[in-house]
A and B are shown apart, each in its own frame.
Chain A
């Protein structure tokens, strides 16, 4: 991932971090760095949750509280050793995050952050009311961390513990993002249910990242308890939750290292303001709020991606994904023999209220065929398409795939059967590389989980997924763009990228939704040539299209819809001369 221009500055920072406590630095700065480290942990969780996954949470401070109180109670009242409570603190964080996540991640957009705001406040008040947690006074006398006889009492000793955890967590987060699970989490930003269609379990990915953010916050809480050795509810309040979000936003919500940068910036600024402002204004109070508030507004107005990308601009890097030649091949589906019926639509019907959008439409796609479903705007093509892909449910009739009914199956399940699709309005992740976008299509062909990804135990499988993605890119002719952000591609290339992603599913049949819409003449010809090539390789394709000229020389069979009803079907040339079809397209005398 990193090239030498980033490697050297990173090394310098690392060495500096390592020697800093040995230099004659005032202890005050060490304390500040410790606080930055702890805040960074929470912010890294938020980067995963908010920046990458698109789920905003104001409640992360409460999770710190769970981590801190778990170890505080267990070490002071039950005599546990601090290291023993580490897994327990993390587990409590996860256990609380799980039900909260189950409730909250299903909520659409803005209800999620409001939900976190509400339970963030409720939990803070709760900490202050429970006798076991020492109510508002909290818990004192928490033992320090120790190894053998060495006790991490001083700020400069626990400093190493904290920053080791920070760096390990950042690396873990980075590893995770660069894996199959990570790609699924990154796909959440693509929005809506689209990732389901290429096999990502959206609800599960959201829950995963929510729990992970809870666990990193709990880790921060655990460290905090053993650094301070006394805790009370204040650091776990909603205003701290807001401050953590501020760090993530300022740093750059999509960047793991940006979290540390954001935490440093906020805490250093806070320190400076608390020192300088009273001299300027003459009173002592936490006026830094005003500055932070204004900063948040200004950053979102002028640098919505935060400041870390600005820093990175000084250290340009060219990342390139190496494809391992020895990567094992992924399992492949057996291809159906040409001519066997794959998709059978039997009297499919869809009504919206009183309106009949699809009126008893029947047709068939056989293996090795390209079938075109065409018709003027509003003819019911897209609705029919949605019925096949499971985005919409049938009101009547049935749809069979390889003889089995698809009725009631989810888009993800239909994708798993071997029905891959593209979108009329492409659903790509513009910031992700072309190669990774394609690899998302192969999501269901891998099994690597969160822990394996963090520990890099799934590298063989990952190499296989990447090699597969590369194969599909070569197949469609986009190999040269593999490391470019997908957002750099022209529309025609994006549509082909979507086809490559669909191919990465190892599908039996490809469903293309208006693949030629908006393409220029040359692009259309390239697309047609690609589809012909795929058919030659045995692929079966159903395409919904408006553009007659595009389908004419391409498809084996045409089905024409108008007002939800099939008005013609047959060979392209026959259909083209059918007066009903001409009337439907040109209007006038029917």
Chain B
């Protein structure tokens, strides 16, 4: 095992002729939470999508000491899992089916085992097993998205804006769950708007601006860095 679970070097992504990531580098230790923060349009979502293989990129992505596998399915099988900003649940299917499909690449026995675990972690979802995913509240949907992701037995979770559109109280709940997950050995790459809350649970932080890493370091230091304020609220005019 490598001491770096994920190592991204000089990652470039272009949409057509417009380059949106101009060489991002990032590394994370196994069992850590790394928060990637920055304003809208900074390229955070693009970075996660590139790591997951949803969009083509240039540069190197190493996962567990070797180049990341080519296809999305192989990445999922290797323990990478993305919870996208829009959750992408199967809205006209039941909560149970959504969860079950999360373990699509696992064996039936593994699936049954993780499933029991997941329902224990999310009792709300256990209550709503038979309900259609589309009828859940915003917070429950985010829980379902997390639950579905956990079913793939991930080693590295890529979370894109888990607090987006949620009421402040639920944001805290969700981030607490994320913090707990780390204790079970899952590493988490967390993209968040809610910078303070994200840095509070993270070990390391990266501030991304306009497709480049502007600052990085231990989360606690980054949280009080004036660059953070500028990144979000603009430089003093």
Contact = CB atoms under 8 A, between A and B. Distances in A.
Interface in B197-226: 197-198, 200, 210-211
B41 A518 contact: yes
Given A377-B161, A585-B233, A588-B200, A547 B193 contact: no
Contact of A378 (B16, B165, B197, B234): B165
A549 interface: yes
Q: Is the interface of A mostly helix, strand, loop or mixed?
A: loop
Interface residues of A, number: 34
Q: Which of A378, A490, A516, A521 has the most CB of B within 10 A?
A: A378
Interface string B17-58: 110100000000000000000011100000000000000000
A206 interface: no
A550 interface: yes
A136 interface: no
Given A549-B233, A576-B233, A520 B194 contact: no
A327 interface: no
Contacts of B194: 586-588
B176 to A, nearest CB: 14
A552 B234 contact: yes
Contacts of B39: 546-549
B167 interface: yes
Interface in A563-590: 563, 572-573, 576, 582, 585-590
B195 A586 contact: yes
B237 interface: yes
Contacts of B163: 587
A377 B41 CA distance: 11
Contacts of B229: 586
Contact of A582 (B210, B233, B235): B233
Contacts of A582: 233
Contacts of A550: 234
A528 to B, nearest CB: 11
Interface string A73-97: 0000000000000000000000000
Q: Which of A488, A518, A586 has the most CB of B within 10 A?
A: A586
A457 to B, nearest CB: 39
Q: Which of A490, A547, A550 has the most CB of B within 10 A?
A: A547
Interface residues of B, number: 33
Contacts of A9: none
A550 B232 CA distance: 10
A261 to B, nearest CB: 29
A518 B20 contact: yes
Contact of B18 (A376, A490, A516, A551): A490
A547 B195 contact: no
B237 A520 contact: no
A587 B195 contact: yes
B196 A517 contact: no
Contacts of B193: 376-377, 585, 587
13 contacts: A514-B40, A517-B40, A517-B41, A518-B20, A546-B40, A548-B39, A548-B234, A553-B234, A573-B237, A586-B194, A587-B195, A589-B196, A590-B168
Given A548-B234, A572-B237, 10 more contacts: A517-B40, A519-B210, A549-B235, A550-B234, A552-B237, A573-B237, A576-B233, A576-B234, A586-B228, A587-B171
